[in-house]
Amino acid sequence: MSEEKSLNFIEEIIEDDLKDGKYNSIVTRFPPEPNGYLHIGHATSICLNFGLSKKYGGYTNLRFDDTNPVTEETEYVDSIKEDVKWLGFDWKNELYASDYFEQLYEYALKLIEKDLAYVDDSTSEEIALLKGTPTEIGKDSPYRNRSKEVNLQLFKEMRAGKYKDGERVLRAKIDMAHPNMLMRDPILYRIKHAHHHRTGDKWCIYPMYDMAHGQSDSIEKVTHSLCTLEFVPHRELYDWLIEKLEIFPSKQIEFARRNVSYTVMSKRKLLQLVQENHVQGWDDPRMPTISGMRRRGYTPEAFREFCDRVGIAKRDVLIDISLLEFCVREHLNRVALRRMVVFDPLKVVITNFTEGVEILEGEDNPEDEKSGNREIPFGRELYIEREDFMDNPPKKFFRLFPGGMVRLKYAYIIRCDEVVKDENGVVQELRCTYFPESRSGHDKSGINVKGTLHWVEQTNAITAEVRLYDRLFEVEDPSNEEGDFKDYINPDSLKLEKTVYAEPALKNARLEERYQFLRKGYFTLDTKDTNQRLVFNRTVTLKDAWAKEQKKR
């Protein structure tokens, strides 16, 4: 075992805290806002938070940061829970920032009592104006020096619904000249007469992120509160509030968000792809959402392995998608059932095969000794892949050509004797002879062939549809290109093969099962489009040395 594996910087912090006796175990949380679907970026955060608490003996809460009623919905809560579970993690408590609204309100009162917060009647434009800029200090609001009593009165009236949206806010009283703009009297509470997905119409004032997040961490006794780099400037405020409120000191630690090449990850952009119909929904198999990739056939094991391998850092990264593809291939190679499917059929007649059908056996998975076998019918008329035959092959072409020999996987060696073409010279059928003594596993023919082809017997073949997905974008980093990211959408990200021919064993395909279509790639049944017919999504191709060889020319 590789217990030698070095620690990342967060693990170092945790181990130091544990060693110093600061804590005996740790508490982390995964805090999504229920206003969208989870994506790969969230998956890495989930693996981090749950992975850490598991490693150091503690637990992780699932906490919804639901402090903005206008964007949040129960639909998102449900999909988020489903995704976290699917990734293989169990949260200790399912919590909501909205559970703490009363407590948070008390905290706000406490700040007012300590003369550390005040009600501001300015408009949002006025506040923005006085806030200054990154290079210019701000100026005090004219309402900054109201008395505690007035502030208390006003804030209670805000809660009571006496004012309209935007009329007043509660602000922390810190320092309008602070170099960190977040410390220039940040807004703590705003008025929103909106229906909340959990508290209904009970509240018309809602805490801002900074007033809610750290305090929620603290209420839950979260020891290590992990978030992404853009929250670094918030840490000062996070600590300030905890200190002034004199509550449990949760510690915020920031790490870099992990982007993946050839896709986009921001909620805004993903939403655009959905709304403008560039994809068919949040769970479109081309989307980097967890629901999309699940539908495409990615596995939780592959995600977790990916997160492990990617590691953790404090600089912005763009991870090569081929690492994710490696992880899913590695897992699927171990678990996928092998099946033969011909996408673009070319008829082969075995001229010396006369009986009806011979039943052969094929192993379900050569990587798994415990896997079984399935029966495969062989007969006089077969389909092979049209691209597996060439009239005038280049050198290093190991497949079928006039006079050439190949093995049919699990079956016999055949020789191509005759090529039948139509009047346009298009190949219609191949007439071949087979060598009965060359049967797979019992080969006494002494013939050596370079190539092995997949095939299906015609009379027993079943049909299916396959959907071949490719990367959604043509460039590595669509967000970083000139112009609109949507200009770089790959027009060929989805290729449909309406009718493909499969061996009969695939008739019993199951939703949870993963398949490797020999020489084609890994496939799984689509979860949505299933009425009356078999529809398979391609998760990822196999590595293809021949395709590479051809590309070089």
Partner RNA sequence: UGAGCUAUGGUGUAAUGGUAGCACUACUGAUUUUGGUUCAGUCAGUUAAGGUUCGAAUCCUUAUAGCUCAACCA
**Per-residue contact track with RNA, 84 to 123, x per CB under 7 A?**
--------------------------------------xx
- Is residue 471 flagged as an active site residue? no
The first and second tokens of residue 40, run together, are 């790969």
- Tell me which residues in 466-495 interact with RNA (CB under 7 A): none
Among residues 104, 108, 191, 472, the one that binds RNA under rule CB under 7 A? 191
- Picking from 315, 106, 133, the residue whose alpha carbon sits closest to that of residue 207 is 106
Q: How far is the CB of 72 from RNA (least distance, A)?
A: 8
Among residues 21, 134, 200, 446, the one that binds RNA under rule CB under 7 A? 134
Among residues 86, 209, 248, 343, the one that binds RNA under rule CB under 7 A? 209
Among residues 86, 326, 379, 427, the one that binds RNA under rule CB under 7 A? 326
**Per-residue contact track with RNA, 447 to 466, x per CB under 7 A?**
----xxxx------------
- Picking from 449, 444, 469, 451, the residue whose alpha carbon sits closest to that of residue 537 is 469
Q: Which amino acid is at 217?
A: D
Count of positions on this chain that bind RNA (CB under 7 A): 93
- Is residue 257 flagged as an active site residue? yes
* Rg of the Cα atoms in the chain: 31
Among residues 98, 225, 440, 458, the one that binds RNA under rule CB under 7 A? 440
Q: Give CA–CA dist 501/372, Å, rounded.
A: 23
b/e burial code for range 66-87 (CB count within 10 A of at least 16 → b): bbbbeebeeebbebbbebbebb
Among residues 329, 331, 374, 467, the one that binds RNA under rule CB under 7 A? 329
> Among residues 92, 131, 198, 257, which one is catalytic?
257
Q: How far is the CB of 340 from RNA (least distance, A)?
A: 9
In the bound state with RNA, the residue whose beta carbon lies nearer, of 437 and 529, is 437
The first and second tokens of residue 523, run together, are 């496939």
Residue 199 in the binding site for RNA (CB under 7 A): no
- Tell me which residues in 500-519 interact with RNA (CB under 7 A): 516, 518-519
Residue 234 in the binding site for RNA (CB under 7 A): yes
Q: Give CA–CA dist 8/12, Å, rounded.
A: 6
413-421 and 427-434: which strand pairing?
Answer: antiparallel
Q: How far is the CB of 280 from RNA (least distance, A)?
A: 26
Q: Between helices 234-245 and 209-219, what is the axis angle to 10°?
A: 60
The first and second tokens of residue 24, run together, are 């005996």
Among residues 102, 201, 230, 361, the one that binds RNA under rule CB under 7 A? 230
- Please give the DSSP secondary-structure letter assigned to residue 483: S
**Per-residue contact track with RNA, 142 to 181, x per CB under 7 A?**
-----------------------xxx-x---------xxx
Of 278-286, 373-381, 445-453, 532-540, the segment contacting RNA by CB under 7 A is 445-453
Among residues 20, 512, 532, 548, the one that binds RNA under rule CB under 7 A? 548
Among residues 397, 473, 523, 536, the one that binds RNA under rule CB under 7 A? 397
In the bound state with RNA, the residue whose beta carbon lies nearer, of 4 and 422, is 4
Of 243-251, 296-304, 496-504, 541-549, the segment contacting RNA by CB under 7 A is 541-549
Q: Give CA–CA dist 282/285, Å, rounded.
A: 9
- Is residue 374 flagged as an active site residue? no
Q: Give CA–CA dist 412/419, Å, rounded.
A: 19
Q: Give CA–CA dist 334/73, Å, rounded.
A: 39
Give the C-alpha distances (Å, rounded to integers) separating 396 from 221, 385, 413, 549: 65, 18, 19, 9
224-228 and 251-255: which strand pairing?
Answer: parallel
Which residues belong to the active site? 33, 257, 267
